[in-house]
Amino acid sequence: DTAVSQTPKYLVTQMGNDKSIKCEQNLGHDTMYWYKQDSKKFLKIMFSYNNKELIINETVPNRFSPKSPDKAHLNLHINSLELGDSAVYFCASSHNDREYGYTFGSGTRLTVV
Amino acid sequence: QKEVEQDPGPLSVPEGAIVSLNCTYSNSAFQYFMWYRQYSRKGPELLMYTYSSGNKEDGRFTAQVDKSSKYISLFIRDSQPSDSATYLCVPKGFGNKLVFGAGTILRVKS
């Protein structure tokens, strides 16, 4: 029944590996986002999709690749993981790309060792 | 200069106290102002939003915006232990990018 669900909740992996985080929303929203929360707790936007179209692509290493198979799903694939990628990754959604009321998932805590 | 600045705290208050959380921002293009609340190990949730300068009240919460000084406040009356969380100041300009502050940790002790 969760509105925005992310899997997995925790991910521990070695440097150099490739991993994916999945996100699904059942709110009927058109826009989905990926945010990264670093150790200093700043939330920074990485990507935004509106109806499966990429509309925000911040300065993020191209090892990070989002994929939206439909407007209810936004996945994040990370290649060649580095220690600095360790963070909490949040997926969020909103009705449209002009709205301020985002619904966030509970986050995926990624630890690269 | 960071776009949004908040005192990280933690701010510790006794139950029932009035809490004042503050935030400054640098970009005069910001039009909307939100407060998000984030509990430990959870995603942020929208608490309040306001568009114009002035006050907006919602139950025990009051958001205050002063665009002339680029200063935003959130007041919590009769604070409860369940209010213990990180409060994020989030302005938004035109376009669809929210700018999150690092947040202020609030601890309400019973």
At A29 the pLDDT is: 93
A43 vs B32: CB contact, 8 Å cut-off?
A: no
In this prediction, residue B104 carries a pLDDT of 96
pLDDT digits (tens, 9 = 90+) for A20-48: 999 999 999 999 999 999 887 889 999 99
A95 to chain B: nearest residue by CA?
B96
Contact status, residue B50 vs residue B33, Cβ threshold 8 Å? yes
pLDDT digits (tens, 9 = 90+) for B15-74: 999 999 999 999 888 888 999 999 999 999 999 988 878 899 999 999 999 999 999 999
Name chain B contacts of A42, Cβ cutoff 8 Å: 100-102
Mutant choice from A2, A42, A46, A56 vs B, greatest count of B C-beta within 10 A: A42
Looking at the predicted structure, is the pLDDT value of residue B94 above 70?
no
Q: Is B40 on the interface with A (CB under 8 A)?
A: no
Share of chain A above pLDDT 70, in %: 97
Q: How many CB atoms lie within 10 A of CB B96?
A: 20
C-alpha A66/C-alpha A4 separation (Å) is 17
Q: Nearest to residue B93, comparing CAs of B31, B50, B49, B51?
A: B31
pLDDT of residue B97: 74
